[in-house]
């Protein structure tokens, strides 16, 4: 009886291993390809914005369309940090107390602020002739972050393997950005 039970257990374990590991490997490759596709779209969009110095509605729509092709649903977070120089004074009310130093300060604008400029509630122009651009200056910083909202097959299968089926991992978060290099508007 003991020998038969161990043979049945070994056969079931072999069947599970023969089916489960190739399935995990395939799911991992699929997720890697999807994330690589999304990262490629992210780099192209961000570099286009950095090289042009502006964002247009067409650029955002093309980027969203490219991300949709990857098969993963993402939350897109945009961040623009505008560089400003503030002179240092002992007494800000007295211009004679200037210390010959400037402090660099960044004003941050996020997704809502950018979308408000690109897609205003009331169109104040000819509609199709109205060119809406979110304009940036040399020295500003532009960062785009993608956070996946959906769980991949690999995340589900690996969750079953280690017993964590209810929690989503944030390991798929993608971020890319840099300094604005040109003002081409």
pTM for this prediction = 0.79
pLDDT for the residue 129: 38
Q: What does DSSP assign to residue 83?
A: E
In contact, 54 and 184? CB cutoff 8 Å: yes
pLDDT for the residue 158: 79
pLDDT for the residue 183: 87
Q: What angle do CA 154, 156, 157 make, to 5 degrees?
A: 65
CA–CA dist 177, 159 (Å, integer):
31
Burial class (CB in 10 A: 0-12, 13-18, 19+), 108: exposed
Give the 3-state secondary structure of residue 6.
Answer: helix
Indicate the helix (H) or strand (E) that contains 160.
helix 153-162
In order along its 185 residues, the chain shows pLDDT tens digits of 668 889 899 998 888 888 888 888 898 899 899 999 999 999 999 999 999 999 999 999 999 999 998 888 999 999 999 999 888 888 888 888 888 899 989 999 999 999 999 998 875 554 543 578 999 999 999 999 999 988 888 888 877 777 765 555 556 799 999 999 998 87
């Amino acid at each position: 009886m003991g020998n038969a039970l161990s043979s049945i257990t070994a056969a079931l374990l072999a069947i599970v291993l023969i089916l489960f590991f190739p399935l995990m490997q395939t799911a991992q490759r699929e997720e890697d390809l999807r994330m690589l596709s999304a990262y490629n779209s992210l780099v192209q969009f961000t570099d286009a914005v950095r090289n042009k110095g502006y964002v247009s509605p067409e650029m955002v729509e093309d980027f969203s369309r490219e991300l949709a092709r990857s098969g993963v649903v993402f939350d897109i977070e945009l961040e623009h940090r505008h560089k400003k120089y503030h002179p240092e004074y002992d007494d800000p009310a007295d211009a004679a107390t200037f210390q010959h130093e400037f402090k660099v300060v960044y004003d941050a604008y996020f997704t809502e602020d950018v979308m408000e400029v690109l897609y205003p509630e009331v169109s104040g122009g000819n509609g199709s002739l109205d060119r809406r651009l979110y304009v940036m200056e040399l020295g500003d910083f532009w960062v785009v972050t993608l956070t996946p909202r959906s769980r991949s097959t690999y995340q589900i299968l690996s969750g079953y393997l280690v017993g964590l089926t209810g929690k989503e991992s944030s390991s798929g978060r993608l971020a890319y950005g840099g300094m604005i290099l040109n003002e081409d508007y």
